Structure 1
Amino acid sequence: MTSAAASSSLDFRKKRTAMFAMLAALAMLGLGYAAVPLYRMFCQVTGFGGTTQRATESDAAIAERLAQSAGGQTISVRFDGSVARDMPWSFGPEQVTDTVTIGQRDMAIYLAKNNSDQPVTGTATFNVEPAQAGIYFNKIQCFCFTEQTLQPGQEVRMPVLYYVDPKAMDDPNMQGVEQITLSYTFHRAKD
């Protein structure tokens, strides 16, 4: 092999290695951007980390029929609300606890007030404790599904329509769970 051919072969290998390195870097960048939505989907499907489920009215109707065969068992639900440090709102539940029939729709009301002199848009993050209850806690309607804008001094009532899936009674991980806590934190929405 001549020195020109060897040099050409070496240049080709260097370019190929550089191309693979660039493709690997782009793949890692893509995975970095996809990680948050993929993790969110995983949590919503599995209830991991206390992520609640989003239900439809027909899902709730099916759960109510299942609950009739469950004998009207109840569970305590505790409601919690807070705001991030930079959020000039007051926010919390109207009622701190409620005893609900498993499988039956129920409603919780949260109160929010904008304490600033300008409109503020917020978004709520949420979770359920204990974490294993997240897959069984179903929200039909919730203020947390969309951003909320409050005008200066405005106070609003924010309802959450939910139910606890009767399948929770068949899960060994739910044995001994007497109370589920639904917790929200309001953050300023990004502009």
Structure 2
Amino acid sequence: MIQKKNLTPVLLAGVFVLMLGLSYAAVPLYDLFCRVTGFGGTTQVSKTAPDIVLDKVVSVRFDTNVNNLPWDFKAKSNVIDVKVGQVNKIEFEVENYSSEDTAGTASFNVSPSSLGKYYSKLGCFCFEKQVLKAGEKATYVMTFYLDPEMVNDPTTKDLHDVTMSYTFFSTDYYKQS
């Protein structure tokens, strides 16, 4: 049996081990939380389209940005009107206007953030390294739908306009940290 004078160091060591374990688990748990709840505008990834298409139309605006890359990046259509539940494709044009090969990775978010759990991507170029040769142009496609369940959520049922924002970051950006 542990004596009282030895109990405090044992408890402190236990708390230290617990806190260390939680610090390692924090990132994957936060990622899981965001994907399940759509927190912070985190969109969903889906393998199948919904079985129902509603008459409700939502305007989806596409915002494109480039950070630390000699690229032009834009959506072929800045705004598209989509029916809730309908599968949609949007094309993005990208051009490397430098004289060197460069690589980038796109990240995204949706606004308002409450829509994140209802914005489902069936295919996307995001979070994958994209390499463009000097002067090369490319077209990237994102396939998505708005989940019909959004009309049952008081925070999203009256939405008529949403913004999907993409930013291409140089892959060198990630090497800096």
> Offset of 1:145 from its aligned partner?
4.3
The alignment covers a number of residue pairs equal to 171
1:41 aligns with 2:32: yes
2:91, 2:140 within 8 Å by CA — same for their partners in 1? Answer: yes
Matched residue, 1:75: 58
2:107, 2:127 within 8 Å by CA — same for their partners in 1? Answer: no
Matched residue, 1:127: 109
**What SS does the aligned partner of 2:155 have?**
helix
| CA gap 1:40/1:152 in 2 versus in 1, 3 angstroms | same
The letter for the 2-side match of 1:77 is V
Matched residue, 2:43: 52
The letter for the 2-side match of 1:97 is V
1:31 aligns with 2:14: no
> Offset of 1:13 from its aligned partner?
3.8
| CA gap 1:121/1:20 in 2 versus in 1, 3 angstroms | farther
1:142 aligns with 2:127: no
> Offset of 1:36 from its aligned partner?
2.2
Q: How does 1:57-68 map to 2 (within 5 A)?
A: 59-60=48-49, 63=50, 65-67=51-53
What's the CA shift string for 1:49-90, capped at 9, x where partnerless? 11110011xx20xx1x222xx3x2211110111012x22222
Question: Where is the helix percentage greater, Structure 1 or Structure 2?
Answer: 1
Matched residue, 2:161: 179
When Rg is computed on C-alpha atoms for both structures, the one with the higher figure is 1
> Offset of 1:116 from its aligned partner?
2.5
The letter for the 2-side match of 1:46 is T
Q: Which runs of 5+ in 2 are unaligned?
A: none
**What SS does the aligned partner of 2:159 have?**
coil
2-side partners of 1:13 and 1:151: how far apart?
A: 65
2:151, 2:158 within 8 Å by CA — same for their partners in 1? Answer: no
Matched residue, 1:99: 81
> Offset of 1:22 from its aligned partner?
5.5
**What SS does the aligned partner of 1:176 have?**
coil
2-side partners of 1:154 and 1:21: how far apart?
A: 59
2-side partners of 1:165 and 1:159: how far apart?
A: 19
2-side partners of 1:79 and 1:54: how far apart?
A: 18
What's the CA shift string for 1:2-36, capped at 9, x where partnerless? xxxxxxx9xx949x82x765564454344334322
TM-score (normalised: structure 2): 0.85
TM-score (normalised: structure 1): 0.79
Q: Which runs of 5+ in 1 are unaligned?
A: 1-8
| CA gap 1:24/1:100 in 2 versus in 1, 3 angstroms | same
What's the CA shift string for 1:126-177, capped at 9, x where partnerless? 1111111111110000000422111112111110000011111111111321
| CA gap 1:100/1:152 in 2 versus in 1, 3 angstroms | same
Superposed CA RMSD: 2.2
